[in-house]
Chain A
Amino acid sequence: MTVVPPRGTTLLGAEGARELIAFLTGPDGAADVAVLERAREPEGPVQRIVFRRPGPGPQPIPAPGPEPAPEPRLLDRHVLRLVPAPVPARPSGPAPDLFPPGTALLTNTSDQVPGAEPLPLGDTSGDTLEETVERVRPRHIRVLVDLRAEDAVPSEALLGLHDAMFRTAKACVSLPSRPESFVVVVLGGVSATRVPHACAGLFTGFAKSLALEWADTSVLAVVHEAGDLATAAPDAARETVTEQFLPVVYHAGGTRLLWQASVEPGAPGEPAGPRTRTGAYTVVAAGGARGIGAELLRALARRDRPRLHVIGSTRLDAEEADARLARKDFIRARTTGPERMTVREANMAYDRLGAAREIRANLDALRALCGADRVTYHACDLRDRDAVRAVVDRITEADGTVDLLLNIAGTNRAGSVDQKRLKDFRTVRDLKVRSYAHLKAAFGARQPRRWCNFGSFVGFTGQTGETDYGAANDYFNTAALHHSAHGAREFTLGWTLWRDVGLGATPLMRTFLAKSARFTAMPTAEGVDHFLHELDQAEQPPVTVFFGAAERAAIEAAAPGYLDFCRTADGVRAPAPAPGPVAPRLPSFYVDDIVDRAPGRLTVVRTFGRERDGYLHEHVVNGYPTLPGTFVPELAAEAALHLVPGRVPAVIEDVRLESFLRVYRPDRAETKRVRARLVHEGPRESVVDVEVSGDVLAPDGRLLVKDRRHFTARVRLRDEPVAAPRWEHWDDQGAEPLADPYHVPNPAVLLSGVFVSTAATRTHPSGRRARYAPDQPGIERWFPGLVVPSVLLDGLARVCVLDRLELPGHGGDWTPLAVPRTIRRIDLYGGHTDASLAAAGTRVELYSLPSRLDLESTDGNRAVAVTAGGDVVLQIKDMTGVVLGHVNQTTGAYRERDRAAAYARTTTETTETPDEP
């Protein structure tokens, strides 16, 4: 028997007291936090108590008497928008040259600018970038960025350009004198509808911070809609001699735009305190195991008790045994022996241990709130694409679509351009930018329902020493605007420093803050309030920034008059196609006016015209632009949402398509009434019946039939989109390609443009299938604001007809051409829209079954649209239709259906056959 030497003694019931005394009597500068841990028994639950140092300075003695009033808010909530600029005092004289003599040009375009010295990007045979700067000694720096080919997440090449921009600035520092100007021109950086390109912020954020560092240099970023320099250059040149507030200006649709930060308290949140969440509510926090994030997670956990996944870089499984050593003992142990570390390494290792314990304590607190099994920690380096993907896969596999993603991770290494190393610049930028990109990519087709980035006030104004941090955070601003405009619910919160946690709470920063008076140190409780308040907004503005009196003073000093501009009334703001009002925005594509509203019902009027509803030209039935029956759910859902704001459509039932809705004449609009009636309002569900009708007029405008019914449907709304069920993709064995008959020229139904939304249509032993191939520009043009993925629904419905039939007397190879008549049920999952699917590039597969399907019978059938990841996006159950004719797969010939047969098979009294052409 081996004798195991005892490892010290145990104080049994008094265990842990020794460490507490060590903490209480520890020298100044020792750890700020002590985590006492003991298990009741080996492998049993751990009891854990955290102690921290009491904090600096004497605390004021609170006045006796009644409860103190709640602390007044130190920070105000501001919403950032691009708004038309006031007309600037136009400088006299002609526009200056954007590229004056002595200019060095850094660009990712092929534009040549005579006289400007090109700065080399990447590896070249000649001088390096730094050597070129050294040699040329430029008096002006121009950075020309073309974003047209860039995705929402920056390419390696673009990040390379970003690096080069920093290197150029840094190289300039060692010149005898700094450049007179440093101007960044971003081409294709904003859309005509005033939506910035996601990557614009990388460059504007850099410029804002550089401008503060280089007070004597004219630093400016001009973001232009135009993709060509020729168009943008005159505007940019004029901007170089225009007085600016912040050194960033946008040009879109011929309008000069500036950021405006307007104070908007936001809608009152839900009452404080815990609330109900029906069903699962999954939150993923990327970062946030410590610091600000931990505080906010705790608050969120206390209120919502979500299923919580926390992703952090610290591994928690290592070196448990060392966890209770004092720093001194630990360092002594680690700096001796064969595998010894340096003291610095040992110090860092000890800090990591401390971090791990802090995280464990935070997680335990979260578990105590959410339930032990409902909080999972994932150790993962967010900068590692594959690791992020693996974690996200695990999360979505276990818990389905994530309800809220908190993108928290970030680091900061302040330093002016001359001090900052490229490595640090990249580290700070990449932890935010690459983590973001990796998360976006990892979620793929299952993007979180809401996406919240933790940004910074620095992203809004820039800050000395923060060219990297400012760039990354301004990227969050533009990225959120970009994705919001494309249907995602993404928003960025710009924080200032927190007084007690995170970056602001280090001793150094505390001292700095106290001295500089440039920042408001926000108490934790206030930050928590701001955060929860923001989550409660029915519709988050894409960019919100919080700041108070100290920041206002700093802004006023740096940009006199800017705050006045921010305070200008709404009138200044042109009625913009830009991001809509902050009040809960209801879908309104098919809602012109609400003409009648009473408790539980309303009537919407919508006028269809060939101009505004130009897409109907791409959906022609019997020669007339015709509203697809698959758009009826959208009409119904929009009306229902006006009746029940705050909920989302989940199910559309009993869709009956009784007569076509058409625009017969170019000169005569068709006005339709959509009547919605609330038939049930419950805690889980609201049920709304919708009827669409319109008067039938003779060509001369005479009223033929009053209020003829087009469609009816029932909409079921819930609090949250229904989580997607799973679908196993079919093995493609036995599939045979089959042309989509709707795209073959024929007099019955001809679809084009945005309605060509399927590809790879084919039959399959189990049914039919196709791939969804959305026309993204078409969708963005016509349907940016729909709530039901109607184009997808249309494509899916069409898959059902794919068949190869024999027509008696006419041989085989015929495919029926049908229009839907009734749909028993449509299930919407996950809150997708055409716009969000197209924007995310989500790959969607379409299936129809069973294999033998007669749309004119009442046999059950089913069609599903499924993401590549296996989540069902929507499902059609039990659709019936009317076959208008058949298209020959080989010859393309069209045979009209024998009308008598068609009538014979459609005998439901509520269903009419298609209108006569």
Chain B
Amino acid sequence: MNAHLPQAEPEFAGRVALVTGGAGSVGRIIVERLAERGATVLLNCFHSYDAAKEQARELTGRGLDVRVIRASVARPAQVERMFAEIGETYGRLDVLVNNAAAGSFVPFDEITEDLLDRTYATNVKGPLWCARYARPLLARAAGKGGAVVNVSSLGSVTTPANYLPVGVSKAALESLTRYLAAELAGDRIRVNAASCGLIDNPVGQMFPAFDDVRSNTVAATPLARLGRPEDLAEVVLFLGSERSGWVTGQTVLADGGLTLLRSAMSPTPEPAPAPEPRAAEAHVPGAGDADATDATDDPVAIVGMGLAVPGASSPEEFWRLLLEGGELFVEAPADRWDIARFHDEDRGAPDKTYQRRSGFITSFRPHERLREEGLADAGLDHTTLWLRHSLHQALEGVRREAGDRFSFCVGYTPDGSQHLEEAFVLRDALDTLAEDGDDAVEGPLGRALRRRFHRGDDPSGGYLPHRVGQDAMRGVLPSGTRLHMVDTACSSSLYAMDLGVRDLLSGRSDIAVCGGSFALAPSGSVLFAKLNGLSAGGAVRALDAGADGALFSDGAGLVVLKRLSRARADGDQVLGLLSAIGLSADGRGKAIYAPAPAGQELAVERALERGGFGADEVDWIVAHATGTPAGDEAEFTGLHARYAGTGTRPTYVTSNKSLVGHSGWAAGVVSVIHALLALRHGTIPAQYRFERLPDALAGLSDGLRVPEEPVPWPARADRPRRVAVSGFGFGGTNAHLILSEDHRATARSGAPLALPSPVDEDLVVVGWSSRLPGDPDAGAVAAWAAGEGPGPEPSFGAVYPVPPFQELRMPPPTARTTDRTQLMLVHCMQRLDERVREFCLRHRKTAGVVVGHTGATRNALLYKTRAYLDEIADAVDGAEEPAVTAKFLQRLGERATGMIAAPTEDSFPGEMPNVIAARLSNYFDLRGLSLTVDAGEASFLEALSVAGLYLGFKEIDVALVAGVNGTALPGWNDSGGRPAAEGAFLFAVTRRSLAEEAGLPVLAVMESAATGSAATERSVPA
């Protein structure tokens, strides 16, 4: 609690409220909320006495003031006794909620006089008796007078089937409300009625054929779900509070817009609703186990979203930003770093960037749950903080149940964390300092360093990528959640969504939360600057003739995925459907960082094909377009080839990078949220900072249009609105995803989710190879593995032995600038059994690479210290005698520049973890997907697991699965006090039938992978 904030008095503090029927589904919420907001609540009930007492015990146990009074409101004598008792005890009553109700749902022919009488006695006479006996007590109410709230139902003015007795009584109750309002006004007593449509609670569920009624009602309700007890309770509380002090005699209806009759009075004839799976069925796993038609019938829905980007801390703010625009590229804020020490106008200056601006999250407004948890400013890694923020946001209103299994899939890179960067820089600097002894580390220089790089001074290693995922979800998602930290560079968050979809379809999870997170850090900008990829002007102009480069941004976003059946059963808001995902890898290209239109087009083609869509069925494309002229041109050309000239209307193309910049590993999900917001609001926002297409693209303006004004995008009758989202990763990993509106009027409402079903076939290991320091052969490695031979040296040493060009066909400068992890894997591939390698190459179009790797690469780390030399000098300036400081800085500088040469255009791709996988694809022209996963020491196992998932879905036929480590820098990433060792291991995994067809030996069968919790197991009593 913030002591200096004025403590607001709870709204009902000091008030006495009586709730009749307070143990019912709605009643108990009214009771609880009144009590939570300060009221003394008298819980009246008759039949549910035991339940009421239990409820009261629970609430009083929480320090709330709740008492049970038993009486039947249908019996005047009991009512009289009840109010006499209240009068004796409290002397007054402030709020009377007539909530008790009776009646059953019966067909017209079965209505009996007895039923009518009983219903009337409780529902009409009851409130009348209560009001009469309560009147003298209400007249003595505190504040602005007493309030009576009668709980009614929509059945009073509409005609639900089987509802006549109750409906008629509720109509009488609403009339009674008006009479009472007039009668009691003299005593300053207000009387109102709160009413609600069909509620998804045990009473509502007693409706005959409830499931049918539910789906029909949801379909006709503009807000597209059933009412909840809370919805009605809040209206009751409002009418009982002083906020409604000038309202009396009214019936206030909460029905999600059902009575607006939009559905009945709309032009599109409503077809018979698709068969609605029952609520519980949708909770059952394995729904995608075998049935190929399953995905068609039951696509994946997006039911929640959350994000943080420059200028917006929520989807709503993001939408405003998209409409209104904003100048968000700024110099690094003071609390991040001083750009002066990382910047130089001279593009040739080593370890400097030529651009001062980037897209920073500067006025982050943490989600209230983050505040409540005390995590809003607890110094979490930025990426963790923004992810958790997005997670809280995305889960709002998403129904979850105990026992639900979750996947948490996050696009991520160790290079996107200022915390990690500072951790290494600090460690490296202190290490250098330690050469002068522990005193030096603890001395003024050490203190100054730790002060400056406090973000990295986290002994628990919260900045490590696998910790980011864990920490972001800890306590929000259950501990058994399947966590995937996936890296395909800038398409990562779309690949994360793809993984989540597969977990859902294969029945491994019930709910998948997917997205990405990325925080700016200086060294990334330096390396990207060496590619001349940054905008010189300091503003992104994606798709525009004036484009001069990209700018990176902070950003995180998450979306929540469920099967549509489950989403509907849960009453979740369906933001959109995931209709198709197309993935591809570029394979061999010019350079690993050069965009390849063919690869991108392949992803687009796969998405359209799998979705079964014609190009004219997509209205709009949220392009990857980052603002680099070459990249934008390649992408636009590719889109034109696939999308243009097919329809009468143009397909719109926009990119949000001009506005919020390129949030890298989160960019894909940010674009997805952009698209979902536009679906919701019926408008395609104009392209920001756009004047005209570049000349090279001007000829392609037929069919594709970049909107300069917002484009109205209303729902259409013939088909769902659709939008595609592209994400292309450095290293040639492409994704193209198609979202559809949840459109009930067309048979192909969701459109199939374009994924084949997982096959049920053994996955087998057919070959392996390794690369270790000292280059032991397979026999020696096998002996070492069996514990019989000597182990290799821990490291290849300061300089990796780059093979001659005959062996490694790579320009020598590039090879020297490439991290050893990439080179080791190329070596492994070359060393794979001839037949196995041939097999992989024969299947190259469907051969994928999945690499397990944890943390930053060696090269990435070494570039960081180089980039920070001036920053370190600034940090220690004046902390110690100049001579001592100078000596330290000199030693540090010599060490940093001695370990690695100044960065070049090859450096960025050379150090990226995702390029470890992509390098193999690129070098051997493998066209299946490639990605790197990070799960700490479980990374290799995670890689096997993810590869198994893709093989099972036949997304790929052959997986080259690797575990690799090239970072054996002392003191860095030591796990449990064990120094790190370098090495790479490659395994070829395929389906058994393919192996046998090729006559390959089956070395082992890989069985299902599982994630368990060691902790739960230990707690099991023996």
Q: Which residues does A use to contact B, with CB under 8 Å?
A: 4, 6-26, 34, 36-55, 59, 61-62, 272-278, 302-303, 305, 315-317, 325-326, 328-329, 360-361, 363-365, 367-374, 376-380, 394, 679-684, 860
Contacts and interface: CB of A to CB of B under 8 A. Distances in A.
A12 B284 contact: no
B929 interface: no
Contacts of A683: 210-211, 278
A720 to B, nearest CB: 13
B1009 A12 contact: no
B787 A317 contact: no
Contact of B964 (A14, A55, A315, A376): A14
A11 B770 CA distance: 13
Given A10-B980, A46-B1013, A315-B1022, A305 B782 contact: no
28 contacts: A12-B967, A13-B937, A17-B770, A17-B985, A18-B985, A20-B765, A36-B941, A39-B938, A41-B466, A41-B470, A45-B1014, A47-B942, A47-B945, A47-B1011, A49-B1009, A54-B1005, A55-B1005, A274-B281, A302-B507, A303-B286, A317-B1017, A367-B1016, A369-B507, A372-B405, A373-B480, A378-B1021, A679-B106, A682-B205
Nearest to B779: A25
A59 B996 contact: yes
Contacts of B1004: 20, 23-24, 34, 51-54
A335 B765 CA distance: 34
Contact of A12 (B106, B768, B937, B1005): B937
A43 B1015 contact: yes
A317 B1018 contact: yes
B781 A21 contact: yes
Nearest to A48: B1010
B703 to A, nearest CB: 40
Interface string B901-914: 00000000000000
Nearest to B765: A24
A894 B937 CA distance: 85
A61 B997 CA distance: 6
A45 B1020 contact: no
B963 A11 contact: yes
A14 B965 contact: yes
B480 A367 contact: yes
Contacts of B764: 54
Contact of B786 (A26, A364, A379): A26
A44 B483 CA distance: 12
Question: Across chains A and B, which 8 residue pairs bring their CB atoms closest together, nearest first?
Answer: A372-B480, A14-B963, A364-B1012, A364-B1010, A17-B985, A274-B284, A47-B938, A25-B782
B944 A9 contact: no
Contact of A273 (B291, B480, B938): B291
Given A41-B466, A316-B1020, A394-B1021, A48 B206 contact: no
Contacts of A62: 993, 996
A679 B999 CA distance: 66
B284 A275 contact: yes
B852 to A, nearest CB: 5
B297 interface: no
Given A21-B985, A326-B786, A360-B1017, A38 B938 contact: yes
A374 B284 CA distance: 14
Given A18-B784, A54-B1005, A277-B280, A369 B286 contact: yes
Given A49-B1007, A364-B1011, A368-B1010, 10 more contacts: A44-B1014, A46-B1014, A51-B1007, A54-B764, A62-B993, A272-B290, A367-B1012, A372-B1012, A372-B1013, A380-B1022
B617 interface: no
A363 B1018 CA distance: 13
B981 A21 contact: no
Contacts of A317: 1017-1018, 1020, 1022
Nearest to B291: A273
Interface stretch (B363-371, B623-631, B969-977): B969-977
Nearest to A52: B1005
A680 B1014 contact: no
A7 B974 CA distance: 12
A315 B1022 CA distance: 7
Given A34-B1004, A46-B938, A16 B963 contact: yes
Interface string B196-231: 000000000110111100000000000000000000
Contacts of B984: 14
Which among B764, B985, B987 has the highest number of chain A CB atoms within 10 Å? B985
A302 B1007 contact: no
A738 B1009 CA distance: 65
A691 B513 CA distance: 54
Nearest to A325: B787
Interface in B102-135: 105-106, 110
Nearest to A21: B785
Given A6-B978, A16-B940, A329 B205 contact: no
A363 B964 CA distance: 29
A415 to B, nearest CB: 32
Contacts of B1015: 43
Interface in B977-1002: 977-985, 987, 992-993, 996-997, 1002
Contacts of A12: 853-855, 936-937, 939, 965, 967, 973, 975, 980
B978 A7 contact: yes
Contacts of A4: 977
Contact of B787 (A38, A48, A278, A329): A329
B981 A10 contact: yes
Contact of A22 (B205, B782, B851): B782
B1003 interface: yes
B589 interface: no
B786 to A, nearest CB: 5
A206 B403 CA distance: 46
A891 B881 CA distance: 113
Contacts of B980: 9-12
B607 to A, nearest CB: 26
A71 to B, nearest CB: 12
B290 A273 contact: yes
Contacts of B942: 47
A374 B786 contact: no
B520 interface: no
B531 interface: no
B1012 A48 contact: yes
A62 B759 CA distance: 15
B939 A13 contact: yes
A778 to B, nearest CB: 35
B957 to A, nearest CB: 14
Contact of B1005 (A18, A51, A376): A51
Interface in B368-413: 403-405
B478 interface: yes
Nearest to A64: B997
A60 to B, nearest CB: 8
A324 to B, nearest CB: 10
B935 A47 contact: yes
A829 B940 CA distance: 51
Given A14-B964, A54-B1004, A683-B278, A22 B1010 contact: no
Contacts of B784: 18
B616 interface: no
Nearest to B964: A14
B973 to A, nearest CB: 6
Q: Most chain-B CB neighbours within 10 Å: which of A8, A13, A14?
A: A13
A386 to B, nearest CB: 14
B1008 interface: yes
A659 B1014 CA distance: 65
A40 B478 CA distance: 16
B771 to A, nearest CB: 10
B1009 A13 contact: no
Given A317-B1018, A681-B208, A369 B285 contact: yes
B936 A40 contact: yes
Given A276-B278, A373-B403, A305 B480 contact: no
